[in-house]
Amino acid sequence: MSMTEEKKQGSYFLLSAETKGKIKVAANENHTSQANAIALMVDAYFESREEEYVLFKQTISDLLDEKLDFVKEKMNRIQVASNVIDRDTKIILEFMNHYYLVNKFKNLITTEEFKTKGMEQAEELVQKRIHKQRKKKLDYERQKELKQQSQSGSRE
């Protein structure tokens, strides 16, 4: 229904002289009555409110997409690393199975029963590498944090 087809009801409002003047200007600019000018302003208000909601929703959606892209990238890196580890583990299992069969071993002696000097050296080496990688990661994160703090400090 358009404004002319709607059944209109009278209302009485106390308005400041300034507001009345604005209503008259809007009515003159739109070549309509003051009542229709008020109706147009109310409609415009609600339209802009809906536009603000759409803009707000789009902004949130864009921010979430940006953060999800970061998470997707990290997950992809983890997946690639996991695939490499899985492949390498399967290769090692195949070699171990072949070695066991070729040498016709009857029993398996576990590291819980007997740990060779070589096994102890391998464990130490792996622990050192893990510690070194962890230290590098912490240093990188610390540098990144300091850089972000200096950037945010310079903005203020």
One-character DSSP codes across 90-151: HHHHHHHHHHHHHTT-SS---TTT---HHHHHHHHHHHHHHHHHHHHHHHHHHHHHHHHHHH
- Does residue 19 lie within any of the structural domains? no
- Does residue 140 lie within any of the structural domains? yes
* pLDDT of the residue at 1: 45
Determine the Cα–Cα distance for residues 150 and 124; give it in Å rounded to an integer.
39
Number of domains in the chain: 1
- Does residue 97 lie within any of the structural domains? no
Q: How far is C-alpha 57 from the geometric centre of its chain's CA atoms?
A: 15
- Does residue 29 lie within any of the structural domains? no
- Does residue 131 lie within any of the structural domains? yes
* pLDDT of the residue at 114: 85
- Does residue 121 lie within any of the structural domains? yes
User: What is the block-wise mean pLDDT of the chain (156 residues), using blocks of 10 residues?
Assistant: 64 88 92 91 86 86 89 90 92 91 85 87 93 92 88 72
* pLDDT of the residue at 139: 93
- Asked whether the beta carbons of 27 and 33 are under 8 A apart, the reply is yes
- Does residue 130 lie within any of the structural domains? yes
Determine the Cα–Cα distance for residues 16 and 26; give it in Å rounded to an integer.
16
- Does residue 52 lie within any of the structural domains? no
Domain that residue 121 falls in? 110-151
Is the whole-model pTM more than 0.75? no
Q: Which two tokens stand for residue 131?
A: 């510690």
